[in-house]
Amino acid sequence: MADKRVFVGDLTRTEFRKRMASGVIQAAIVPTGATEQHNEHLEMIHDAFHVSHVAEQAAKRLHPRVVVASPICIGVSEQWMEHIGTLTVRSEIFCEYVYDVCDSLRRAGIGNILILNGHGGNVKPIMRRIDEYRERLGVNLRFQSYWDVYDPELVFSTMESNRLPGHACEFETSTMLALAPERVHKADMVNEAAGLATKEKGELLIGPAVAGVADVLYKMIAGEAVDKPPVTFRAGQRIHMVTGEPV
Ligand SMILES: [Zn+2]
CATH number at 224 reads 3.40.50.10310
Sheet with 231-234, edge to edge strand ranges: 163-164, 231-234, 237-240
Distance (Å, rounded) from C-alpha 108 to C-alpha 199? Answer: 40
Instruction: Measure 236 CA to ligand 1 centroid, in angstroms.
Output: 20
For position 51, what pLDDT does the model report? 98
Residue 165 lies in a domain: no
Inter-CA distances, 245 with 53, 124, 162, 205, 238, Å = 30, 14, 17, 24, 8
Q: What's the 178 CA to ligand 1 centre distance in angstroms?
A: 15
The span from the CA of 166 to the CA of 132, in Å, is: 29
Summarised one tens digit per residue, pLDDT across range 109-144 is 999 999 999 999 999 999 999 999 999 999 999 999
Q: Kindly report the CA angle at 195 between 191 and 197, in degrees rounded to 5?
A: 120
Residue 3 lies in a domain: no
Distance 20 CA to ligand 1 centre (A): 34
**CA of residue 23 to ligand 1 center, whole Å:** 36
Tell me, yes or no, whether 169 lies in a domain: no
Hey, which residues does 184 pair with through a beta bridge?
Answer: 42
**Percent of the chain's residues with pLDDT above 90:** 98
Please check whether residue 89 lies inside any domain of the structure. Answer: yes
pLDDT in tens, 187-206: 999 999 999 999 999 999 99
| Position 195 in a domain | no
Give 12: exposed, middle or buried? Use CB within 10 Å, 0-12, 13-18, 19+: exposed
Q: Hey, what's the torsion of the CAs at 153, 154, 158, 163, to 10 degrees?
A: -70
DSSP state of 43: -
pTM: 0.97
In degrees and rounded to multiples of 5, residue 168 shows phi and psi of 55, 30
The alpha-carbon radius of gyration of the chain (Å, integer) is 18
Q: Is it the case that residue 1 has pLDDT exceeding 90? A: no
pLDDT in tens, 95-110: 999 999 999 999 999 9
The residue count for the chain: 247
What is the arithmetic mean of pLDDT over 177-190? 96
Q: What is the mean pLDDT of residues 56-74?
A: 98
- Predicted confidence (pLDDT) at residue 18 exceeds the cutoff of 80: yes
Looking at the 3D structure of the chain, how many domains does it have? 1
Residue 44 in any domain: the answer is: yes
> Ligand 1 centroid to 24 CA: how many Å?
34
Average pLDDT, the chain: 97
Alpha carbon of 168 to ligand 1 centroid (Å): 6
State in Å: Cα 47 to ligand 1 middle: 5
The H or E element spanning position 97 is helix 91-108
User: What percentage of the chain has pLDDT greater than the value 70?
Assistant: 100
Q: Tell me the C-alpha distance between 79 and 167, whole Å.
A: 12
In a domain, 237, yes or no: no
Q: Ligand 1 mean position to 174 CA, how many Å?
A: 12
How far, in Å, from the CA of 173 to the mean position of ligand 1?
A: 9
Between CA 78 and CA 36 the distance in angstroms is: 9
Cα 193 to ligand 1 centre (Å): 14
| Residue 2: pLDDT band with limits 50, 70, 90 | confident
Omega before 64 within 30 of 0, i.e. cis: yes
By residue range, what is the domain housing residue 14?
A: 8-148+207-229
| pLDDT attached to residue 121 | 97
| Distance, CA of 45 to CA of 9 (rounded, Å) | 20
Ligand 1 centroid vs 2 CA: distance in angstroms?
33
CA of 172 to the centre of ligand 1 (A): 6
How far is ligand 1, taken at its centre, from the CA of residue 119, in Å?
A: 6
Contact by Cβ (8 Å): 48, 77: no
Q: What's the CA-to-centroid distance between 87 and ligand 1, angstroms?
A: 13
User: Is 182 within a domain?
Assistant: no
Q: How far is the CA of 26 from the centre of ligand 1 (A)?
A: 30
Residue type, 31: P
